[in-house]
């Protein structure tokens, strides 16, 4: 088993990516809102004096979505990556996202729900 993890840079693509992953055989995706070091540091930079009120007070905060899913095979991961790149373009390009696959030694609580 493996843990498929993606940090999605542009959260407007979340539903498209989730649909693509589902079609690729990835189920049971957990989604959290997240942000990265560079975005946190940018909020405290001198240029922040010139941002609009929505960004200053949080409603315009720019962040990411981090997606987690337990999958059975690396083939499922490859299919999910190809489906993701069909939406976002090459993940090697800036401001797209990052996907990693990690081996999982043991899982409790998923039973037959793991797919792929």
The predicted model scores a pTM of 0.79
Upper half-sphere CA count for residue 74 (Cβ side, 13 Å):
2
Architecture of domain 2-35+63-113: 2-Layer Sandwich (3.30)
Structure-token match 């990556």, residue found: 81
Contact 87, 24 (CB under 8 A): no
Residues 29-67 pLDDT 10s: 999 998 877 766 666 555 555 555 445 445 455 689 999
Domain positions in the chain: 2-35+63-113
Report the distance separating Cα 114 and Cα 61, nearest Å: 34
- Confidence (pLDDT) at 46: 56
């Amino acid at each position: 088993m493996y843990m498929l993890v993606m940090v999605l840079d542009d959260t407007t693509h979340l539903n498209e990516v989730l649909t693509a992953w589902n079609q690729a055989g990835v189920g049971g995706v957990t989604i959290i809102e997240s942000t990265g070091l560079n975005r946190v540091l940018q909020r405290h930079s001198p240029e922040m004096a010139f941002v609009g009120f929505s960004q200053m007070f949080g409603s315009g905060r720019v962040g990411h979505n981090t997606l987690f899913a337990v999958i059975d095979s690396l083939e499922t991961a490859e299919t999910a990556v190809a489906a993701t790149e069909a939406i976002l373009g090459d993940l090697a390009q800036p401001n797209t996202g990052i996907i990693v696959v990690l081996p999982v030694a043991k899982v409790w609580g998923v039973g037959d729900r793991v797919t792929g």
